[in-house]
Structure 1
Amino acid sequence: MRRLSSLMLGMLLGVSVSMDASAGAADTPPDSPETIHVNAIRNPEVRKYSAIVAGLDAFERGHRMAPAADVLRFRVERRAWTDKTPKPGEAPLALRLEGKDGFVLPLTLNDAVETIVPRSSAALAADSELVLNRKRRMVRVTPLVRSPGLPDNVRRLGDLRLECQVMVAIGKEELGLMRTLFVNSVLLTPNWCSFFKAERDGFPFEAPERLARATLREGDRTKDLPVEGRSFRTAMNDPDWSDEALIELAFEPVTGTAGETPRTAP
């Protein structure tokens, strides 16, 4: 039953949290008149602005877990199975909020391909959704909580705990009330992050590259975490580890020869 419940939650979060890209079927820029309005599609993999607001609310409620993280960010990246090398002539990645009656709110990406989505009563009233100038199933957008000053291969446990709360809040809004109540009944709790207690595998998070190992560290204590591909898992509600605990990620070496596609070393 535990394995089935974990699988069900993972599938639901996989649909609702790892957001797909554009509403159109082609690489049309956000300002193109040929962009199909996502309001007419209602693809469950497209992130609604109301779901983003639910994530902003969750970030504010749980900010004590990551007080140094000044704002909730959203990271835009190509999916793992896509070619990450830009194609010749490919337009720079762009995204915006788009809603009814011609509402448009462009969003800015920083050098790390992250964006901050503002609160906007006009975007809510327009029933807006996020639109990217990329083909569907090629790009995803995920919430990111990250305290400053950490190396790229280190995550803070409190940041991940808050990130989990944000992901679940977004997922519930995407799923809707009835499906959310169904998941609550299966997991026997409305707090989906707490379902992954210390004796279970833990909540899944994705790293930017394939992992060799992930180590939870606090003071002199360490704990090896389960890893699979680019994913690692850590328990969200284990009282033995504080929000200040750190997760150190070690990536698999990538090898290749000239003219060949690099491959991950065994």
Structure 2
Amino acid sequence: MRLVMAGMALSVAAPATAQDVQPDGPDIVVTAGKPLKLDAKVLRAGQRRFAEDRAMLSPEGSLRFELWRGGRRIPAGMVPIVLSDGKGHDLPVTIDGDGRMVFASLPEGRWFLTAPAQSQGMHLRPIVLSRGTTTEDRRLGDIRAQCHVMISMGKAQATLLEWPLIGLFEAVGACESKRFHMFHQAEHPIASAKAMTPHGERELRLSEKGTSYVPPMSDRTLGNDVRVRIAYR
């Protein structure tokens, strides 16, 4: 079965002791040849959840949104993206120096994040990064906050058929569940992924193709300041 959420597509297998979620390829998918039109309520849901978690999980973090095509991130400035109310009113989208979208505030009412049709499908995913960190050297608290944002965005656009699966996921602990292994996709093939714990380095599991890794979100003995570091091939 497939549990679809914002920021990751949860392909759930069912081994005896755990479930693998591979990979966290995002659910907000722009099908090839079709324009992007994402209700701003989905972005607001992510912002609200991040605001709730920020003090505990990511006090110096910021929430951004990325565009991906397959396994490659696309700088948002390469695609003409706007906020539109569908009535002829458009607002530009702020893009930071790393090509990620920034939404300090979103207009009230029915607005949509839009982009023209693309020859290849695209994905939209949230990312939480603290000051002084990178995608190769992340705080565990930021990864936990990002997962919560993904869940909230998914719930904001879930269909009736998807709600039972989301309910099951939340019932067993969601992002902090030991029954799910969530693979976080990297921008390049990974040589190694490690959690820098107080007791030494811990090797993290990689996907078969080495394009994603499993952060130890469910390990409650690890604080939010633990670093997760990856090295590319």
Is the alpha carbon distance of 1:81 and 1:57 closer, same or farther for their aligned partners in structure 2, counting shifts above 3 Å? closer
Aligned residue for 1:25, secondary structure, equals coil
Partner in structure 1 of residue 171 of structure 2: 189
Superposed displacement of residue 185, structure 1: 4.5
* Higher fraction of strand: 2
Task: Please tell me whether residue 158 in structure 1 is matched to residue 141 in structure 2.
Answer: yes
Aligned residue for 1:72, secondary structure, equals strand
Superposed displacement of residue 112, structure 1: 0.9
Superposed displacement of residue 201, structure 1: 5.8
Amino acid in structure 2 at the alignment position of 1:99: D
Aligned residue for 1:162, secondary structure, equals helix
For residues 158 and 185 of structure 1, the distance between their equivalents in structure 2, rounded to whole angstroms, comes to 23
TM-score of the aligned structures, taking structure 2 as reference length: 0.78
- Structure 1 stretches of 5 or more lacking a match? 27-35, 39-45, 253-266
Is the alpha carbon distance of 1:190 and 1:220 closer, same or farther for their aligned partners in structure 2, counting shifts above 3 Å? closer
Task: Please tell me whether residue 173 in structure 1 is matched to residue 159 in structure 2.
Answer: no
Task: Please tell me whether residue 53 in structure 1 is matched to residue 34 in structure 2.
Answer: no
Is the alpha carbon distance of 1:165 and 1:158 closer, same or farther for their aligned partners in structure 2, counting shifts above 3 Å? same
Give the length in aligned residue pairs.
Answer: 216
TM-score of the aligned structures, taking structure 1 as reference length: 0.69
Which of the pair has the greater relative contact order for Cα pairs under 8 Å at 6+ separation? 2
What does residue range 61-100 of structure 1 map to in structure 2 within 5 Å?
61-63=52-54, 64-69=56-61, 71-80=62-71, 92-100=78-86
Percent identity, aligned pairs only, is 20
Partner in structure 2 of residue 20 of structure 1: 29
Partner in structure 1 of residue 13 of structure 2: 3
* Higher fraction of helix: 1
For residues 30 and 163 of structure 2, the distance between their equivalents in structure 1, rounded to whole angstroms, comes to 27
Q: Would you say the 8 A contact 1:96–1:107 is kept in 2?
A: yes
Task: Please tell me whether residue 114 in structure 1 is matched to residue 66 in structure 2.
Answer: no
Q: Would you say the 8 A contact 1:226–1:233 is kept in 2?
A: yes
Partner in structure 2 of residue 230 of structure 1: 211
Partner in structure 2 of residue 149 of structure 1: 132
